[in-house]
Amino acid sequence: MHLLVRGVQHRISGEILVPNSKYHAHRALILASLADGESRIRGLSDARHVEYTVRLLRGLGVGIVREGDTFAVRGLGGRYRPVRDTVSAGSSGTTLYFMTGLAALSDRAVTITGQKYFRNRPVGPLLRALQEMGVRLESANDRPPLHILGHRPTGGEVTVPGTLSQWISGLLLLAPFATGPTTVTVTGALNERTYLELTVAMMRQFGLQVTVSPDWRRFDVAPHQSARPTELTLPPDIGSAAFGIATAALHPCDVLLRGMPSLTGGPADHPEFHFLDIARAMGVPMERDPVAGGVRIRQDAPLLKAVDVDCRDVPDMLPVLTALAAFAHGESVFRNVAHTRLKESDRARVMLQLNSMGAELELSGDTLRVTGVDSLAGARLSSYNDHRVLMSLAVAASRARGRSTLSYPHAYRISYPGFLDMMNTVGVPASVEKGPARSAGRRARGPVREPLRSVADPDRACEVTLPEWLARHAASRPDDTALVDVRPDGDRTVTWSDLAGRVDKAAALLLALGVRPGENVAYQLPNRLEFVVLSLAALRIGAVCCPVIPFFRARELGFVLRRSLARVLVVMDEYRSRRPAQEALALAATGGPDTAHLEHVVVLARPDGGSRPPQPPPGGVRLHDWETALKTTAVDRAALDAVRPKAAATAQLLFTSGTTGEPKGVMQSSSNLVRAVSMEIRHLGLGPRDAVWVPSPLAHQTGFLYGMTLATVLGVPQILQSEWDARRALGSLNTHRATFVQAATPFLADLVKAVEELGSAPRHLRIFVATGAPVPRPLAEHASEVLGTKVCGAFGTTETCLGALSRPADAPERRWGTDGRALEGVRLRVTDDRGEVLASGAEGNFEILSQTVFEGYLDRPDLTAEAFTPDGWFRTGDLAVLDASGYVRITGRVKDVINRGGEKIPVGEMEQLLFRHPAVDDVAIVAMPDERLGERACAFVVLRAGARLGFEEMCRYLDGHQAARQYWPERLQLVADLPRNPIGKVRKFELRARARHLRPHTQ
């Protein structure tokens, strides 16, 4: 695997969230572990280096708990109680150097080790200094593993080379707990003084006293000290911010670094603060932006100056400063670089690789000289598994011509896990590929790129709104396909850049129509480009998407308009055999309450221009043509950018399908929607090479969320089809290389029939998630064979999003024989009517606890309250069985239960059994009234073409499958089709209404 970076020449822009300081985090965690009581450290660092410190401290018996963005550390008062004989420092030098001596405070011997390659790191100077302090230890060849005896140090006169500050800091952290006074004297050159200043400052913050000489070469520490519990907040990490600053500095840009409170400070604030001074000296135009809350870099053309730097002041900044100097005017000189050659790699020599790209670097003794050049060319490079080298070379490659590849592509995770996201966010394409690295001039075929880390991390992904995801992709992959609109008159392909431009234009139109943040925008559109554009445009200005199913008529449309108070409605002029625009205007002409708030109707004409314009609207409702309105609307970029919707704000108002009664308006936040698709991306392992086929209506949650939203977050093409036709669908699946689809049973069944008729299966389809209604198991099994794809069972609701989902790797009987298992972060349970949780295998009420549960029903707090149990679980209204492995199987709806004289009939199981009959194409079982038993079962059956089935034959079939007689339907009603809502759910309340007038067959 390798890191692929494509050099860019265009302007880059975006926002970078600066992480919290890993340097402060290491020291704070260690000092808190030594205190007597609980310390709280706010502002977590996600650097893997810090995680190694956490793991090692836990191995020594320290209680460390994450509470939101806070570490709660229960210190042991200067005495560790190891829970393991061996603890690991991973690949963190800081963890190793700090904790080697402190491990002596354990109540028994402990061995410290590290990752395999890390065990070659010599630590002899530190070990000898610790022995002078009275630490008893054993080591072969002055390298890990290190065996430390549990024996409190005695203190004394200690000398240590000033080569690495971490050696000195490790001694200082231990000295207050010695039995006698300690004096630490630094010999030779003193490097990295700023890190020592941070160590001493933080020790004093925890109540530990250190006396320091003016030249920082002598430290006196009194014995028998106690650290006090402390609360503190970690500052921003300049070491990570440096890579965002450097990337911006090399390009025309407008980049904001959020989380940096100022551009001035001192070493105690951050040991690498001097980097900012050097960057300013090089001409990087950094300015504090108090309104946006960060530091902004804005320039039309980069113009960097050469510098002369003493690397003892910025020890870890040499690689990234070298990348900047490669493009600066004149010769930059980096002095005193010898100690940088003792880091994870020989950093001074490794950066000479820039010469292979056309740079001019010369290393002589203790000095590195860099003469700036106008441009570099892409090349194959090695990071030597050094995180700072990898990131610095990637920054330089961002301005090189062509492609560059770097080995050890994941090294950045050790200190700056958000680095790859940062590069892509500002518009530099960077991705991890499998396979051997290719030369800069050779084009890779079908790269397998690692998804951005944040895409598959729900906690991080949900903080980014859909318009922000669109902006990221438009910047990082402007010419890649974002959407394919499959239409009878020809397919239309739209790139990410084009989509972003259309969205901005539509957002400007909505602002011109008076739409404001928080307002509901209603639109009744089929699956076509304009639906996606309008949805993202509404979200771009903080409005709420209120889509209406295209099949709805005036009654349902009026209900949505009345409840949503929408002032803007967007509709088609013609759709199939209907005139939706005329229907909407006729509704408005009545002057009734349904359209009391409606002010604007925007009409989309037929693409061939053959539409007849609707009649002028009555009263105060204004009529607009979509294309004309867009052409005459100017985009005010400042006005658009002034609106910054929050992820927690309501983004969607979706009315339920009304299969059980009056539709309810479900309110979902942007955070919930993005989190939900990120959970599925993670669960299924979807990535950048996927393409999402969207046959389900975008106006329903399945299409809106697991079609449009999923594709937008993942940054892959979405393939839309406005009019369902299975044969055309099969063609578009192949033409546009669709790999993933989530849709209901009818789409799956029709696609199977099309394949059987045409004899050709979709060539690229990997996963079909069957949702919206329980998929008949025989159909799922047959579809898996016919389509050559993995059919996965799932369960979700408009209110909760997906709660359960199987995986492609599951055994077939679980993949399509169940409705999946809980996604990460979701809890499932089955209860009886008293609310008691039932054991696995028992049927009961299915309930969900999830972070993607809706905000509530619009204007119906009563219904919202009814939807939840007293302890906060959502009542799905379904019956289910959970097995011992956590897989769920939906057995029916609570309201569909048939109570036959006190015996509850398992409706779902009987439907599945009847579906297997060779004559049956579709089936639904509902209750019909009975004076004696209360209810009996009636089976509504759709037969296959040319097939016959009578009541007596049905009974013989059920008897042959040993179904209990009490469960048999007592009437067979043959119908041409079953009434379904747009996503495939059977409208059983309609069937129950028909069954009221039916009577049982005599048996």
C-alpha distances in Å from residue 704, one per residue of 466, 603, 670, 673, 713 = 12, 21, 12, 9, 12
Q: Which residues contact 717 (CB under 8 A, 6 or more apart)?
A: 480, 481, 482, 483, 484, 691, 692, 711, 736
871: which 2 tokens? 């302890």
Contact 416, 434 (CB under 8 A): no
Contact 817, 792 (CB under 8 A): no
Q: Rg for the chain (alpha carbons), in Å? A: 33
Contact 875, 867 (CB under 8 A): yes
Best CA proximity match to 26, nearest among 46, 54, 61: 54
* Pairing mode of beta strands 971-974, 156-161: unpaired
Best CA proximity match to 108, nearest among 127, 87, 85: 85
DSSP-assigned beta bridge partners for residue 888: 882
Active site residues: 316
User: d(Cα 561, Cα 510) in Å, to the nearest integer?
Assistant: 17
The full DSSP string for 804-853 is EE--TTS-HHHHTTS--EEPTT-EEEEE-TTSPBPPTT-EEEEEEE-TT-
**Could you tell me which residues are annotated as the binding site for phosphoenolpyruvate?**
22, 93, 121, 166, 347, 388
What is the amino acid identity at position 88?
Answer: S
Backbone angles phi, psi at 794, to 5 degrees: -155, 160
Contact 28, 415 (CB under 8 A): no
113: which 2 tokens? 């080790």
State the angle between helix axes of 193-205 and 165-174 in degrees (0 to 180), rounded to the nearest 10.
20
Q: How many helices (H) and strands (E) does the chain have?
A: 31, 50
Contact 517, 492 (CB under 8 A): no
* Structure letter (DSSP) for residue 305: B
User: d(Cα 992, Cα 181) in Å, to the nearest integer?
Assistant: 88
Best CA proximity match to 720, nearest among 694, 743, 690: 694
DSSP-assigned beta bridge partners for residue 212: 219
**Could you tell me which residues are annotated as the binding site for 3-phosphoshikimate?**
22, 27, 165-166, 316, 343
DSSP-assigned beta bridge partners for residue 604: 572
